[in-house]
A = this chain, B = another copy of it.
Amino acid sequence: MKPTTSSSASHQRTRKDHATEAAEDYVEAIDDILSAKGECRVDDLRKHFSVSHVTVSRILARLQREGLVRKEAYRPVSLTKKGKRLADQSRERHQIVLEFLKKLGVSAEVAEMDAEGIEHHVSEETLEVMRRFNTK
C-alpha cells in the first residue's frame, strides 16, 4: 500500500534514509582515508566519527552486506566499485554544497559543518541550481 493517503511523500524518508546517510558518510570517509594514508582501518573510522570501534565495525558489516565495502577480520577496509561510485558521488555533492555555502557568504568552518548535514537532503534539481550559482 503506497501513501496515496496524505500530504507527505516527503516524509517517507526516515529510518531508511538515515541508514543511507550513514552509508554515504562512511564510504566518503573511507575513500578519503584511503587517499590520505593508503589504508583504512576500523580505528581510523572510529577516530573520524568519534564513535566506538564497535559501532564502526557493525556499520561496516552492514555496508559489506550491501556490497559497498570489503572487509575481512582484522584487516583494513576497502571499497567495492559500487562503494567507490557512491563515495565519488557523495563527495561531489559535498563539494558542491560546501562551495555553494561559502560563495553565499557562510564562514568556512560553519559551511563545512552545515554541508555535512545538508548534502544528504538536496535533490538533483537543487544541486543543479547550486552548481550554476557556484560558477556565476
Interface of A is mostly: helix
Q: A8 interface residue, CB < 8 Å from B?
A: yes
Identical chains bound together, number: 2
| Contact A11–B116 (Cβ < 8 Å) | yes
Task: Name the interface size band of chain A.
Answer: 35 or more
Tell me which residues across on chain B come within 8 A of A114, comparing CB atoms: 121-123, 126
Q: A39 interface residue, CB < 8 Å from B?
A: no
Query: In the complex, which residues 104-136 of chain A have their Cβ closer than 8 Å to any Cβ of chain B?
Result: 104-107, 110-114, 116-118, 120-123, 125-126, 129-130, 133
Could you list which residues of chain A lie within 8 angstroms of chain B, going by C-beta atoms? 3, 5-14, 18, 22, 25, 47-51, 101, 104-107, 110-114, 116-118, 120-123, 125-126, 129-130, 133
